Amino acid sequence: MDLLFAKNHRGDTPLHCAARAGACKMVSHLIALAGHEGAYRKLELLRMGNDSHETALHEAVRIEEKSIVKLLMDADPELANYPANGISPLYLAILRKDTIAVTLYKMSGGNLSYSGPDGQNVLHAAVLQATNTDIKVIFAVLIEELLKWNKGLATQVDKHGSTPLHFASRSYWHTRISNIVTKVFEANPTALYQADNSGLFPIHVAASVDAISTIEFFLQKSPNSARLRNAKGRTFLHVAVVKIRSSRAALICRAPSVEWILNMQDKDGNTALHLAIKRSMLKTCCALLGNKKVHVNLSNAKAQTPLDLSRSNLPRELHFTMISDR
């Protein structure tokens, strides 16, 4: 029976190999052989990890062989808890875009690991998959299920300090899938005020990828989120001016909800107008200058006002307009 527990050069047992090959009858036979040595030995075989810290269940999930998944889970309903740290079978199932995730949850009775690599959990993975695939509606439903199973997933951060809401804020959301942002936010609204290790809040992340609908949602739910500053002392408006195209940034600048942050200065003393002029973003400049509350004479750390910068970065007619209007 020592051969039953023997490992090859990758740390795989015969059970790993049988599961990877999709050999359902062999998997059943190996489990039965281990069972002849007692319940403890059977669980030992089932829970043995290879050099990648994966069990035979991972192999079955990876090839999307539901019959083997059920066979393994019947033999050990707690198997989806292994390994204690690292990529769980459930996380792997989310990546495979397969209904096996639901099978794992039901057969484990909810007693399973939600962990993934680098401190991520399955909600991070589901949100990321939803932003990168053409089957977003399916993942929207799956995200809702995950939050029913474990609402605490929305509060956890990965090694970069990113919450699932940071992940949800990374992509441009069309109307039909904006409910993903809504569901993740509602599960943990405080994440809106949680910065990652780079000092970015979810609203900064949304601004950096042109996700105006997500920004509008955040401002509607929490107007004070507009004042949040990143590590450079910049609001989401600064980030939008730097990161996205002029026409889109102009839309944000015209929103009444941002009027009170229009003159906020970053650590270099720059307002959004300073940055827009430096980048020669004419539409954004016009949108900002269209608001009489925008100051053109605020000096940055280099003692430069927007008016000073306009002389070398904007067309002469716009520069003269700034002078005449102010």
Instruction: Give the model's pLDDT for residue 173.
Output: 57
Reduced to 3 states, what is the DSSP secondary structure of residue 153? helix
35-50 burial, b for 16+ CB within 10 Å, e for fewer?
eeeeeebbbebbbbbb
Burial of 256 (0-12, 13-18, 19+ CB in 10 A): exposed
**Rounded average pLDDT over 194-210:** 94
Every domain of the chain and the residues it spans? 245-326
Q: What is the pLDDT of residue 175?
A: 47
Evaluate whether 98 touches 64 at the Cβ level (below 8 Å).
yes
* CATH number of this structure's domain 245-326: 1.25.40.20
pLDDT of residue 293: 86
Q: Which comes out higher in pLDDT, residue 76 or 129?
A: 76
Q: Check residue 177 and give its pLDDT.
A: 42
Is the separation of the CB atoms in 294 and 265 below 8 Å?
no
**Could you read off the pLDDT of 34-82 as tens digits, one per residue?**
999 999 999 999 999 999 999 999 999 999 999 999 999 999 999 999 9
Q: What is the pLDDT of residues 285-314, one digit of tens each?
A: 888 888 888 899 999 999 999 989 988 887
pLDDT on residue 199 = 97
**121 has which bridge partners?**
115
Confidence of residue 17 (pLDDT cuts 50, 70, 90): very high
pLDDT of residue 176: 43
Q: Which one-letter amino acid corresponds to residue 100?
A: I
Give the pLDDT of residue 289: 85
* 149-180 residues labelled b (16+ CB within 10 A) or e (exposed): bbeebbbbbbeeebbbbbbbbbbebeeebbbb
Q: pLDDT tens for residues 205-223?
A: 999 988 888 998 999 999 9
Higher pLDDT, residue 115 or 177: 115
Mean pLDDT of the chain: 89
How large a percentage of the chain has pLDDT more than 90?
69
Residues 133-180: tens digit of each pLDDT:
566 667 788 899 999 999 999 999 999 999 999 999 987 654 444 688
pTM (predicted TM-score): 0.88
